[in-house]
Structure 1
Amino acid sequence: MGQIETSLHQSKKASEYSGSDSLDERVFAERIHILYGHTPVVLGGGVFVAFVTAAMLWATVSHSLLAQWVGLHLLLALIRGILAKVYFSTRRSGTGMRVRHWAWAYTVGAGISGVLWGSLAWLAMDTASLSDTMIVSLVLFGMIAACIGSHAPFVPSFIAYAYPAGGMLALRFLVEGGSLTLIGILGIVFLLPNTMYAVNLFRTIQESIARRFEREVLLADVQEKREESERANLDKSRFLAAVSHDLRQPLHALDLFHSSLKARLEHEDEQRLLGLASHSSQALGEMLGELMDIARFDTGKVTPEPRIVPLAPLLRDCTDEMRPLADEKGLDMRVRLPRKGCVDTDPVLLKRILRNLLSNAIRHTESGGVLVSTRMRDGWACIEVYDTGPGIAKEQLPYIFDEFYQIDNPERDREKGLGLGLAIVRRVSKMLGHRIAVRSRLGRGSCFSVAVPLCAVAEQCQPGDVEELFDAADVSGLFLVVVDDDRAILQGMRELLRSWGCEVLLAESGAELLAELTTHEYPRPDVLISDYRLRGGHTGLEVVSAVQAHFGVAVPAVIISGDVHPEVQKQVDQTGCCWLQKPVQDDELKRVLAELSQAAA
């Protein structure tokens, strides 16, 4: 009986609402919901068995008595059915839901049903008739056993049903006495194991519900933490994107001054100092570029544009671009180009992956060399970058693609970068759907690989799909117009462009430029250079449109900006202007100016 008392105590405790024990409240409410969920089966089955029982006793028991008994079952089933319907309606509305009252209301209905079934032993069972006694006994004991599963979510409802039904039958046998006394005692004993089973089933149900709710709470907490982490990451990325323009402005001006000074300094010591300053400026620009790339990838502002690309020219471009870095360290860079093969990828983003892998390999290799090779397997081109560096310990491999993670740079030496190169590789690879892998042995070197899907139709692949590098041409004698609201950048541009032999007209806004063009009879500029964002909410595209309207012809234009939003670059591309990202290297600017002027000529 101790288990029964414990179960009853737990049920009572669970049914009492407490503001500090919300989990127990939810578990109790769910148990009662399961209890009411069994109503259709309980009521339907009970009415069906009542009809069958009446039919079996019809020949020996008063017809009116059986009809009244079955009628009471129907009436009780109707009332309990209406009660269940009101319960479900109240639960859906979510207002005025006092679960404890609903639990005891169900228990009262179960108790009345138990009494109604138990009354059969006194009203319809003739102990002198073996058939009647067996029918009534089997029906009542069967109904008690059958109701365990449906009433186990709330044990008091089982007791309210089973004890009147079984107790009244056992009492009838005890009253009759004689040989039936033993059957009455066995009937009472029959109730005890069934009650124990109901209690055990109740505990199983309660624990299962509790674990489910705890799991839901845990998952909700994990989801909330993940969302907080994602929000923090997006906030970081938005911050980096927002300040990128302001950070790039002075850096762009600094690069312009360095480039203009380079042509004027004659002494070797001065050239060396300027080279060191330029190197530091370029390193800062590269770090800023990596931070901006992370921000663009995290905020979803980079959209891949996959197409069919021949693999060999793309690999050749990447290795030729990175070869000077290897030569500076005395490393041997080799590439094994595939004889044929085209891949389905975004060539710009794939080049970014390969540049980062090559740069990483060169940076961490002091002697030996770097090898780039390609293996074709199962519809994939696996591009592998080998190095003879120090290798990576096995326990460090899971972390090397994390942001700012560097194995051999505890002092945060800027010459070794920020630790973002491989983080960018992982982001871009995931964006493209390419697979990245790494294997390494300490003291022997490492191999990083990226698997790119091969193109099934090689005939669609044309060498011209890959961007070619252009050699900077002579730009002396060009008439260039520069518009920027930053005076330092204007001065740096003037000095740099004049050192190339160009004639330069400067303006801080479109209005100032138009006024100057209207006042003096300037010829059509060979190229117009403008910052994208200008004072007063104006843009460089508006300046380009106004200048072209002034001369009545198309004017080649370059838009330079520190914005990282792809929408801005898309707008520029749609106008036919050339887009350059700050800070701009002097050789890149010179190449673009030469191309635009030659195309216009």
Structure 2
Amino acid sequence: MDLFQLTTFNADAAEGAQPAENHDAADIAALREENRRLRKVCQALVERVETGGRSGGAPYAAFERSVLLAEQVRERTDTLHRTLDELGQANTRLSAAKAEAEAANLSKTKFLAAVSHDLLQPLNAARLFASALETHSLPDASQALVGHIGRSLKDVEGLLGTLVDISRLDAGVLQPDKAPFAVSTLLDALAEEYRQLAGVRGLALHYVASSAVVESDLALLARVIRNFLSNAVRYTERGRVLLGCRRRKRGLEIMVGDTGPGIPEQQRKAIFLEFRRANQPNSAHSRGLGLGLAIVDRISSMLEQPISLASRPGVGALFSIIVPYAEASSATSVAKIRYAPPLQAAEDLLHGCVVWVIDDDLAIIEGMQALLGSWGCRVRAAATVSALEAVSDGERPAVLLVDYHLGDHRETGIELAARLQRRYPGLAAVVITANHEAEIKRATREAGMHCLLKPLKPLRLRMLLGNLLTKP
């Protein structure tokens, strides 16, 4: 019996009871009125209790719902805890995998550094021997074979250099070493080199020189311009290639244009992606991995020097890069350096010049002797200074060419060159290395020396020697 029924029963009983003898009619009326009032109070209390749990439901139903919700919350909390535990375990496995990947990447970087040095050494020697052979008087058939060998070695050099560069860029170990330099020191050599390559393809190369002094990483900027020129010569079947500069407010715009087939609008972004090349099915000179412009794009971002492309299909293409000018003080000091005319002047200056070569690789020594000897130099080459001085006959060297890595537990090429410069004041030093790290280039520059990268480009070496020999 619920509260309402119990109260009603008691009230009805009170109404049906016979009044006691000592109760009069007024008392009975008062008692009935009180019972009615109590019924209303009880009714109101019952309604409040019934609706107090939740709207539209009884207290017990609300209680059941509360219990059910609490159970669902507990189950979901348990599920959340299990999920968090699984995520924690997954994060632990992911951290371990990331550490393994980073270790593998570091190992790959070290491997590539070792491979680049070990593979570039014999490749460098082969290039030296092939370049020396080209200067000899040979039968036409033999001369053609030597040319094929040189071009094949150049292709191998390009492919290997591309793979090493993209790996170094991915690993983040290739950092820029920006310094002021006269842009002519870079473009003059590239113009001479690619004028010959363009001539082989029946193309004319027009070069507009510039006296501007810019600030950039010379080796990385050379990589960009060289790629532009290589693509222009490779894809242009007839006409000409242009290498020149324009002075802009933001900096010097170095441009490479051609009269080739051009690049359609829909391909202009894709060619800067890895393993992508312009679709030129008629070109017989499209060897490559499709990584050149991808490397150019990354170098441009690293240097913070933007590149641009303008092209009209069937008319040609124009690639360019904006390089900032050097500060006024640096530009003035650099501009005072006199540069030798490209080829003939260098040949005259090199004839009879005493050049010392120090390298711990016998093949490199023999290759340098053959190349420099073909230019008329008096070459003295050995693996150590003592051995070099023993065969020098007391001659004073004018230029020193020294390898940076001279074997374990030995001084670096920079240290050795500095020691010889103290012994022979005025000795010009060139450090040659297969290591592209910015620290080596910076240390060489701060020591007042020049740095060339392997595989050595004979024309670049020839022009640098001519430049060094013209200095007062």
The interval holding the TM-score normalised by the smaller chain is: 0.5 to 0.7
The answer to whether the 8 Å contact 1:477/1:501 transfers is yes
Q: Which amino acid aligns with 2:50?
A: I
- 1:509 deviates by 1.9
Correspondence 1:249 to 2:121:
yes
Q: How does 1:314-333 map to 2 (within 5 A)?
A: 322-331=194-203
Match of 1:557, SS? Answer: strand
Higher helix share: 1
Q: Which residue of 1 aligns with 2:172?
A: 299
Give the gaps of 5 or more residues in structure 2.
1-37
Q: In structure 2, do the counterparts of structure 1 residues 542 and 511 end up closer, same or farther at CA, with 3 Å as the change threshold?
A: farther
Match of 1:583, SS? Answer: coil
The structure 1 residue matched to 2:292, chosen from 400, 421, 426, is 421
Q: Deviations over 1:456-497 (max 9, x none)?
A: 999997693999675223212223332222222222222333
Match of 1:580, SS? Answer: strand
Q: Which residue of 2 aligns with 1:569?
A: 441
Match of 2:43, SS? Answer: coil
The answer to whether the 8 Å contact 1:391/1:440 transfers is yes
The answer to whether the 8 Å contact 1:241/1:564 transfers is no
The structure 2 residue matched to 1:495, chosen from 355, 370, 379, is 370
RMSD, aligned CA: 5.1
- 1:317 deviates by 8.2
The answer to whether the 8 Å contact 2:177/2:438 transfers is no
Match of 2:452, SS? Answer: strand
Q: In structure 2, do the counterparts of structure 1 residues 532 and 276 end up closer, same or farther at CA, with 3 Å as the change threshold?
A: same
> What percentage of residue pairs aligned between the two structures are identical?
33
The structure 1 residue matched to 2:273, chosen from 402, 423, 426, is 402
The structure 2 residue matched to 1:544, chosen from 395, 399, 417, is 417
Match of 1:579, SS? Answer: strand
Q: Which residue of 2 aligns with 1:285?
A: 157
Q: Which residue of 1 aligns with 2:302?
A: 431
Q: Which residue of 1 aligns with 2:29?
A: none
Correspondence 1:591 to 2:463:
yes
The answer to whether the 8 Å contact 2:176/2:220 transfers is no
Q: Deviations over 1:375-398 (max 9, x none)?
A: 99996887776654263573x555
Q: Which residue of 1 aligns with 2:4?
A: none
Q: Which residue of 1 aligns with 2:18?
A: none
Q: Which residue of 2 aligns with 1:261?
A: 133
C-alpha separation in 1, matches of 2:207 and 2:212: 16
The answer to whether the 8 Å contact 2:347/2:375 transfers is no
The answer to whether the 8 Å contact 1:509/1:535 transfers is no
Q: Which residue of 2 aligns with 1:534?
A: 406
C-alpha separation in 2, matches of 1:424 and 1:322: 20
C-alpha separation in 2, matches of 1:223 and 1:446: 47
TM-score (norm 2): 0.67
The structure 2 residue matched to 1:506, chosen from 374, 381, 387, is 381
Q: How does 1:39-438 map to 2 (within 5 A)?
A: 177-190=42-55, 235-297=107-169, 298-305=171-178, 322-331=194-203, 349-367=220-238, 388-389=260-261, 391-392=263-264, 394=266, 398-406=269-277, 408=279, 416-436=287-307
- 1:431 deviates by 0.8
Q: Which residue of 2 aligns with 1:97?
A: none
The answer to whether the 8 Å contact 1:238/1:299 transfers is no
Q: Deviations over 1:513-552 (max 9, x none)?
A: 35x26xx851222223322222442233444355456x56
TM-score (norm 1): 0.54
Q: Deviations over 1:137-163 (max 9, x none)?
A: xxxxxxxxxxxxxxxxxxxxxxxxxxx
The structure 2 residue matched to 1:473, chosen from 319, 341, 347, is 347
C-alpha separation in 1, matches of 2:244 and 2:357: 45
The answer to whether the 8 Å contact 1:305/1:346 transfers is yes
- 1:258 deviates by 1.8
Q: Which moved more, 1:424-433 or 1:579-588?
A: 579-588
Match of 1:240, SS? Answer: helix
- 1:234 deviates by 5.1
The answer to whether the 8 Å contact 1:334/1:370 transfers is yes
Q: Which moved more, 1:273-282 or 1:226-235?
A: 226-235
Q: In structure 2, do the counterparts of structure 1 residues 232 and 403 end up closer, same or farther at CA, with 3 Å as the change threshold?
A: farther
Match of 1:506, SS? Answer: strand
Q: Which amino acid aligns with 2:296?
A: V
- 1:455 deviates by 6.9
Q: Deviations over 1:19-59 (max 9, x none)?
A: xxxxxxxxxxxxxxxxxxxxxxxxxxxxxxxxxxxxxxxxx
C-alpha separation in 2, matches of 1:456 and 1:480: 33
Q: May I ask how many residue pairs the two structures share in their alignment?
A: 415
Q: Deviations over 1:490-511 (max 9, x none)?
A: 2222233333333333322234
C-alpha separation in 1, matches of 2:186 and 2:463: 20
Match of 1:590, SS? Answer: helix
Q: Which amino acid aligns with 1:185?
A: E
The answer to whether the 8 Å contact 2:189/2:459 transfers is no
Q: Which residue of 2 aligns with 1:558?
A: 430
C-alpha separation in 2, matches of 1:315 and 1:595: 14
- 1:276 deviates by 1.0
